[in-house]
Amino acid sequence: MTTGQLPERHAIGAAMKRKEDPRFIRGKGRYLDDIVLPNMLFLALVHSPYPHAKITKIDKTAALALPGVKAVITGEDLVAAKLGWLPTFHGFDNQMVLAIGKALFQYQEVAGVVATSREIAADGAELVDVQYEPLDPVVDPYQSKLDKIILRDDREQKTNHIYHWQVGEREKTDAALAASDVTIKERILSPRCHPAPLEPCGCVSDMNGATGRLTVYMTSQAPHVHRTAFSLVTGIPEDKIHVISPDVGGGFGNKVPVYPGYVVATVASVILGVPVKWVENRTENLTTTGFARDYHMDVEIGATKAGKVTALKVSTTADHGAFDAAADPRKYPAGMFGIVTGSYDFPTAFAEVDAYFTNKAPGGIAYRCSFRVTEAAYAIERAMDILADKLGLDPVQLRMQNFVKKEQFPYHSPLGFTYDSGDYAATTKKALDIIGYDALLKEQAEKRKRGEFMGIGVSTFTEIVGAGPGKHFDILGIKMFDSAEIRIHPTGSGIVRAGTRHQGQGHETTWAQIVAEELGLDPQELLVEEGDTDTAPYGLGTYASRSTPVAGGALALAARKIREKARKIAAHLLEASEDDVEWKDYKFNLKGVPGKTVTMKEVAFAAYTNPAPDTEPGLEATYYYDPPNLTFPNGTYIAVVDVDKDTGSVKVRRFLAVDDCGVVINPMIVEGQIHGGLTEGFAIAFMQEITYDSGGNNLNTDFTEYLIPTALETPHWETAGTVTPSPHHPIGAKGVGESPNVGSPQAFVNAVIDALSPLGVTHIDMPLTKEKVWNAIQGAQSKK
């Protein structure tokens, strides 16, 4: 692609190959563990084998005696340094860095051993003698609710209850449910799972005693927020902290929180005056870092006999683990769970969430959708199928007759959100046509006659992303805007920096495409840089599908600032008045004089060599974008499955995802995002759960017990799209990263339940393992 021949919409909408891929596919990426500094030491952490225990003694002697061990750090040491506790992101709770007096979940970090090699540090960790006095653990939030054992004696409130949050009208909803012809009620579990990025978390902390400056290389989805958090926690002035997030091997929300390893490595570097590296192993990642979901949702829907929904009520018991470390905005302790009315026009609704402590790892943040949207989308899409079954209606028909209609946008939902745009019926029609829904129904009817279990599952979800409007959303009080800085060099290439940090999303390509589109430049000549707090403008990072809705807006608006300045320079070059110069076909044109044009490259050169009089030289701009609203991508996903009634094994025969994420910047990258998210959704639906036995032992601590689908299990994905631009976003984009994970698990589950519906099966909680499906079949058959 060259700037000489620009097709219409030359940059946005092009399936340009990813600029970052050459270094990744050649093994030239630079990840955290690739960073090696002179005199660097290694940190290993000691973990509690008990889920709940008093710590009566920690003896460092044997560990310190091991040659190569340089320091052993305990919770008491951190308390002495006033670093014993960390505030959680929304500021409602504090979290122990290392266990102080008590271990509250299995694998909790109890001590850190710093040594000259990773192996010696691990051996040293084995030699730290920790004496425990085991206490009875609480692993079930419904047990926690009873307050028989109070887990957090550090808190003033002697209860395991963390918070109650509610939205909507309780009385009105209860009355509407009571007056409905038909109601359904189901407890739907969105089970505890884990994002399990292939690269676990880690850091290299490097305190330079001479300059007093701390450099932290870390696996961070939000480097600026981490810099501020480090400053607030340690008291080191923010200008003395430099956070660098190198290439990140997947995040999915897991790399948003601040983990004990970062703090202990930093303390060790301050004490010892040399760089200290900490890199988790797989078990540490799965057992201690931010888990996802664990929402137990009691869902009630009322409807008329004809299948028009009248009310929705959802009461949720949330298991937050040992600390309330969910990284939700201050005003939204249950995130955006209010999206639970989904794509449907409920006249009234009510949702409430009560969160509890248990002796499990803290988190509740992540997995390609934090802010509880996945849980909400799963609950409503599963419940709509249960309602369709009760009404004897086709699930698609029920959805179609309850969709928010195209002409209702902007749509004010009963739980307080203003949906920006969508055409749910059109997206769904497109999906039905592509999959051949009527033919599938016919095939299913024939198979049922033969006693075969074929299922069709539909999910017509609405997402809520792009946090967000600063008036509602914050982290640590910092408004969730984002930022962009663009510098165009004299020869017309440039550097683009943003406050986001990609972990595989392709920003190095799509950010260049946005700027290229706005400025008529070549995206190949725009270098995108993120992740370095010394150079990038302040931003809140990449998670919750917020990069394109927020930073994407900042990029477009920063580019438009440059274009406005460029117009002055172009007018100077054209010896015309600014008002006579218009931007058209990616260049400046003198109105009424065809062929009298100036390209952005020519403007860029003039900006440094021949700037217009009274114009500041140079061509650069910064923009901080605080979006006026969230964006609401939607999609219709259809799964077709065959269930083997003798083994419970499920074969996903077809899966179609039709997404509407607004204007698409790069269709190839969007398709790649959807493939990845669907593969995760498939894993969540069929394989993944973090479980604990009654004694509080985590039973899914590595990839033999917590499964990642390989190419062998993963179904073939079919994708398509519709485009309903976001009316308020500068380029009409909505974001797509989360959609496939938010939208797909329920399509799989609905398909399996549909297959088993002749047996009277109406619900099975995920993951739908062969064993669970087989048991459901056996149970249903024995009842008959």
Q: Report the catalytic residues.
A: 221, 368-369, 738
Residues 6+ apart with CB under 8 A from 450: none
The values of phi and psi at residue 397, to 5°, are -60, -45
Site size with another protein, rule: CB under 8 A: 23
- In angstroms, what is the minimal distance from the CB of 773 to another protein? 19
- The backbone region for 740, taken as left when phi is positive above 0, alpha when psi lies in -120 to 50, beta otherwise, is alpha
Stretch that binds another protein, among 13-21, 44-52, 426-434, 560-568 (CB under 8 A): 44-52
358 near another protein (CB under 8 A): no
Q: 677 near 505, Cβ under 8 Å? A: no
C-alpha distances out from residue 372 to 333, 334, 367, 456, 718, Å: 10, 7, 10, 26, 27
Question: 3-class DSSP state for residue 548?
Answer: helix
Residues 6+ apart with CB under 8 A from 643: 453, 454, 455, 649, 650, 651, 752, 755, 756, 773, 777
283 near another protein (CB under 8 A): yes
47 near another protein (CB under 8 A): yes
- Coarse DSSP helix, strand, coil percentages of the chain, rounded to the nearest 5 percent: 30, 25, 45
- In angstroms, what is the minimal distance from the CB of 126 to another protein? 7
d(CA 583, CA 25) in angstroms, rounded, equals 39
Q: 427 near 722, Cβ under 8 Å? A: yes
699 near another protein (CB under 8 A): yes
- In angstroms, what is the minimal distance from the CB of 73 to another protein? 18
> Is the Cβ of residue 346 or residue 692 nearer to another protein in the bound state?
692
Binding pattern to another protein, positions 667-696, x when CB under 8 A? --------------------------xxxx
- In angstroms, what is the minimal distance from the CB of 44 to another protein? 11
25 near another protein (CB under 8 A): no
> Is the Cβ of residue 103 or residue 751 nearer to another protein in the bound state?
103
- In angstroms, what is the minimal distance from the CB of 701 to another protein? 5
d(CA 203, CA 258) in angstroms, rounded, equals 11
505 near another protein (CB under 8 A): no
Amino acid at 240: K
Stretch that binds another protein, among 41-49, 221-229, 663-671, 744-752 (CB under 8 A): 41-49
> Is the Cβ of residue 126 or residue 446 nearer to another protein in the bound state?
126
Question: 3-class DSSP state for residue 578?
Answer: helix
- In angstroms, what is the minimal distance from the CB of 277 to another protein? 21
> Is the Cβ of residue 282 or residue 406 nearer to another protein in the bound state?
282
> Is the Cβ of residue 284 or residue 518 nearer to another protein in the bound state?
284
- In angstroms, what is the minimal distance from the CB of 108 to another protein? 11
Task: Indicate the burial class of 727 (C-beta count within 10 angstroms; 0-12, 13-18, 19 or more).
Answer: middle
Among 698, 722, 739, 741, binds another protein (CB under 8 A): 698
CA 592 to chain centre: 50
> Is the Cβ of residue 48 or residue 726 nearer to another protein in the bound state?
48
Among 11, 12, 20, 50, binds another protein (CB under 8 A): 50
- In angstroms, what is the minimal distance from the CB of 551 to another protein? 40
Closest-CA residue to 512 (of 536, 488, 535, 533): 488
Closest-CA residue to 422 (of 48, 722, 774, 27): 722
Identify residues 133-162 at the interface with another protein (CB under 8 A).
Answer: 134
Among 179, 702, 708, 758, binds another protein (CB under 8 A): 702
> Is the Cβ of residue 700 or residue 722 nearer to another protein in the bound state?
700
Identify residues 239-278 at the interface with another protein (CB under 8 A).
Answer: none
Among 13, 29, 49, 490, binds another protein (CB under 8 A): 49
> Is the Cβ of residue 46 or residue 398 nearer to another protein in the bound state?
46
Q: 316 near 141, Cβ under 8 Å? A: no
d(CA 168, CA 711) in angstroms, rounded, equals 44
Residue with tokens 């399996």: 752
126 near another protein (CB under 8 A): yes
Both tokens assigned to 642: 């065959």
- The backbone region for 351, taken as left when phi is positive above 0, alpha when psi lies in -120 to 50, beta otherwise, is beta
Which residues are at the interface with another protein (CB under 8 A)? 46-47, 49-51, 106-107, 126, 132, 134, 283, 693-702, 704-705
